[in-house]
Structure 1
Amino acid sequence: MPTVKIVILKHQKKDDDTWNVKIRITHERKSSYIATSHYVGMDLINKKTFELKERNNPIYDLVMTDVLRIREEISKLGHTVDLYSAKGLSELIKEKLSNKPNGINFFDFGYAYADKIIKEGRRVGENYRIAVHKFEEFIGGRNILFSDITSSLLMKYDEYLRGQRSKCGIGNISDSGVRLYMSKIQAIFNQAKLTYNDEETGIIRIQNNPFVKYKIPKIPMTRKKSLSVEQIRSIKSCRIPDNMTGVLVARDVFVMSFLMAGMNTVDMYYLGEAVDGRLEYERRKTRTRRADKAFISIKIEPELLPYIERYKDSLGDRAFNFFVRYATHKQFVHKVNTHLKTIGSILEIPDLTFYAARHSWATIARNECGISMDDVSMCLNHKSGHDVTDTYIRKDWSVIDRANRKVLDYVFGDSISNTSSINSDL
């Protein structure tokens, strides 16, 4: 059990012949000191023991009040006191003695963390902000600490979420929706622990973990979003009236993604000009989480050339002019997915989304063209899972070139005849 004592360190004499009165916390044979606001001269120090005099000493009485409070706070910790070092205990006690709020506000940290991710250019930051805001709606304000969040509170929040209408307005929030909100709360909780706790020095400012008892719903098995070869061809050849520009762009962007091995809309929006017949970029979704910055190089195939010409940026700043047509990449993503619903209705493809291009490319590559899972993963710019090996082997972009060419030949057949048909559609 830690011991608490008033001490004066003889070697820390100040120029005015006074010493600071300190409180020493000793735990597991190590000591840490808390400086008080009191300074004393030799008249209040026992010359033999060099300790603060107890009798008729108002400073002793004041400091002893803090000592008693510290002992009480340590007693409240119970068996968890073993998690702390002497230094960790002193840091905890200093917070309590300063009369600051005992703990860290969840919403202050949560919103700040979401803003940090947004500033890094990661779209997932918006999801964090939405999740924190939803939790704030449930709590009814921002006055809650991490220590206040218990498993029972999360269970009530889970029940609350399931009673809310889903984003699409059809039915209530499902397991997937609950998982989306709860996973962000858990991620914020873990990040706060990394920020404020230091197990090595025993500084544990966030002790609780409500996710030990509360379990986030597992990812439900969903229907794969991949399309058949015939459906891909029908989207490419779908005739769009001239007055439906947004729908035409959505059709073209979907096909362009397929022709570029499943490139995402946000990467298409920011994509720079071609370099030696290749499109090279860092995947924005994962570039901040990977040592290689998620860099990838895609060869421009003949089928893509008409689309490059049509959506060419006249100023030459980027590969495509989508950043001129749409104010933000969010608007671009939203408009494309909205107009793809129209195409889906025309072609009787239910729930058509842009991501189906990426899923379809991967499924056809693996199941129809016999391309290995590792090569499909490389084409999709996924993390390989061979971290050590990756440091030895230089990326060979011809692997992606061969795989993409094989898929395009399988789906569209003769590239020359298909290129001319594209031109007629455009």
Structure 2
Amino acid sequence: MDFFRFCSDHIEALKNQGRKGSAGTLNTVLLSLKDYFKGNALSPLEINEWMLTAYEKYLRAERKLTRLNQGKLITRTVKGMSDAAVHNHFRDLRILFKAAMKFYNKPQIGEIRIPYCPFDNYKIVDAPETRKRNLTVEQIKAIRDCKVPTDSRAELVQDLFMLSFYLCGMNAVDLYHLRTSNIIKGRVEYNRSKTIRRSDKAFISIKVVKEAKPLLDRYLEKSHTRYNSFENLDRAINEGIKIVNERAKLSGITFYWARHTFANLGRNKCRMSKDDVGLALNHVDQGNKTTDIYIEKDWGIVDEVQSKVIALLSEPNEARIKKLSDPVEQRRTMRIVNLNV
């Protein structure tokens, strides 16, 4: 049994299933294990409680990592992991280990090659309570209206952040993969990438409101030509959001805050039910799976949540909509912004 080889095959299978996000986080664990063991092969039987204790100590200490970057091996020093990072890392390692147990063990014929799971006795550090990722209406307006350099990553993030908010918290990966074929009779129809294993394929239909239309016209099928992979777009978003934070006089805001904020405003400000907000977010209701078999989804409910949340911004930024829609006005605006930056 070679745990490293199993992990590589498992990660490749996830990529082939379109689960690149999960594959990426698990690959990080695999690379870290190879750093720790300094070898090209590892028996899963070497992963036990004592090894996990030593490995956690290793992760919490400053260490050097050597990775391939644009065809070159680059060595850098990284800080020790926090409780949250260790929690996530060990959670992913447990996923890999249990997948290996399922692969190698064949209890139906009495073949148990991995006799026990060390995570049954090893206490993974609890994840600290995360900071609530909710913005106020005024903070959303600040992001929408702040001045950023034209044709910059910051402008890209600003527009995609607002587009995500207008489209009920649509994820960046789904925005990246959006095509003209997804726009049907004034609605965005797609399957959410993070939940492809659901029986309904995580399908959702969202109205293209007037605030979203110019942004869709600008970025639809263009983000993937500017960036040849979502991972590259994601890196650009992570860099651009820093400038947006600075210009909007905010701090620590990430792209995912658009989704959290949409949900929070829908429930706490618009007083929509949690079920209706969950439908708009394309969540599955674990408690009503049987009932959902009988009830057809009503996209009008999603429209209602969407319209009430967007209405909180009071008057839409008509000037920005006009600039995005009118090429002549847009060029004039770009010159003004360039002078002010």
For the criterion TM > 0.5, the same-fold answer is yes
Partner of residue 333, structure 2 = none
**Distance in 2 between residues matched to 1:392 and 1:203, nearest whole Å:** 43
1:358 aligns with 2:256: no
Choose 400-409 or 369-378, whichever is displaced more. 369-378
Partner of residue 235, structure 2 = 334
Partner of residue 86, structure 2 = 178
Q: CA deviation at 1:352?
A: 1.8
1:209 aligns with 2:151: no
The one-letter code matched in structure 2 to 1:200 is: Q
Q: How does 1:1-400 map to 2 (within 5 A)?
A: 104-122=1-19, 123-164=21-62, 171-242=79-150, 244-273=151-180, 274-287=183-196, 289-311=197-219, 319-385=220-286, 386-400=288-302
CA contact (8 A) 1:105 1:145 kept: yes
CA contact (8 A) 2:148 2:247 kept: no
Give the aligned CA root-mean-square deviation in angstroms: 2.0
Q: CA deviation at 1:293?
A: 1.0
CA contact (8 A) 2:5 2:41 kept: no
SS of the equivalent of 1:224 reads coil
**Distance in 2 between residues matched to 1:350 and 1:382, nearest whole Å:** 28
Size of the aligned set, in residue pairs, is: 311
Q: CA deviation at 1:196?
A: 2.2
**Distance in 1 between residues matched to 2:174 and 2:275, nearest whole Å:** 22
**Distance in 1 between residues matched to 2:320 and 2:232, nearest whole Å:** 30
SS of the equivalent of 2:109 reads coil
- 1:261–1:291 distance in 2 versus 1, CA, 3 Å: same
**Distance in 2 between residues matched to 1:237 and 1:252, nearest whole Å:** 10
**Distance in 2 between residues matched to 1:165 and 1:143, nearest whole Å:** 21
Q: CA deviation at 1:124?
A: 1.3
Larger radius of gyration: 1
Structure (1/2) with the larger helix percentage: 2
| Deviation digits for residues 80-117 of structure 1 (CA, Å, limit 9, x no counterpart) | xxxxxxxxxxxxxxxxxxxxxxxx21111111111111
**Distance in 2 between residues matched to 1:421 and 1:345, nearest whole Å:** 20
**Distance in 1 between residues matched to 2:29 and 2:149, nearest whole Å:** 40
**Distance in 1 between residues matched to 2:149 and 2:211, nearest whole Å:** 22
**Distance in 2 between residues matched to 1:121 and 1:240, nearest whole Å:** 34
SS of the equivalent of 1:303 reads coil
Q: CA deviation at 1:169?
A: 7.9
**Distance in 2 between residues matched to 1:370 and 1:391, nearest whole Å:** 26
Q: CA deviation at 1:398?
A: 1.0
Q: CA deviation at 1:165?
A: 5.9
CA contact (8 A) 1:272 1:279 kept: no
| Deviation digits for residues 371-417 of structure 1 (CA, Å, limit 9, x no counterpart) | 1112211111122112212221111111111000000001x2245xx
**Distance in 2 between residues matched to 1:106 and 1:199, nearest whole Å:** 19
- 1:251–1:391 distance in 2 versus 1, CA, 3 Å: same
- 1:165–1:342 distance in 2 versus 1, CA, 3 Å: farther
Question: 1 or 2 for the larger relative contact order (CA 8 Å, sep ≥6)?
Answer: 2
CA contact (8 A) 1:262 1:357 kept: yes
Q: CA deviation at 1:337?
A: 2.1
How much identity, in percent, do the aligned residues show?
34
- 1:399–1:285 distance in 2 versus 1, CA, 3 Å: same
- 1:148–1:171 distance in 2 versus 1, CA, 3 Å: closer
**Distance in 1 between residues matched to 2:137 and 2:77, nearest whole Å:** 32
CA contact (8 A) 2:61 2:79 kept: no
Structure 1 length-normalised TM: 0.69
CA contact (8 A) 1:270 1:323 kept: yes
Q: CA deviation at 1:420?
A: 4.0
Q: CA deviation at 1:259?
A: 0.4
SS of the equivalent of 1:240 reads coil
The one-letter code matched in structure 1 to 2:13 is: K
The one-letter code matched in structure 2 to 1:120 is: Q
Q: CA deviation at 1:175?
A: 1.1
| Deviation digits for residues 248-298 of structure 1 (CA, Å, limit 9, x no counterpart) | 1111011100000110111011112210110011111111x2111111111
In structure 1, list runs of 5 or more residues that go unmatched: 1-103, 312-318
The one-letter code matched in structure 2 to 1:185 is: L
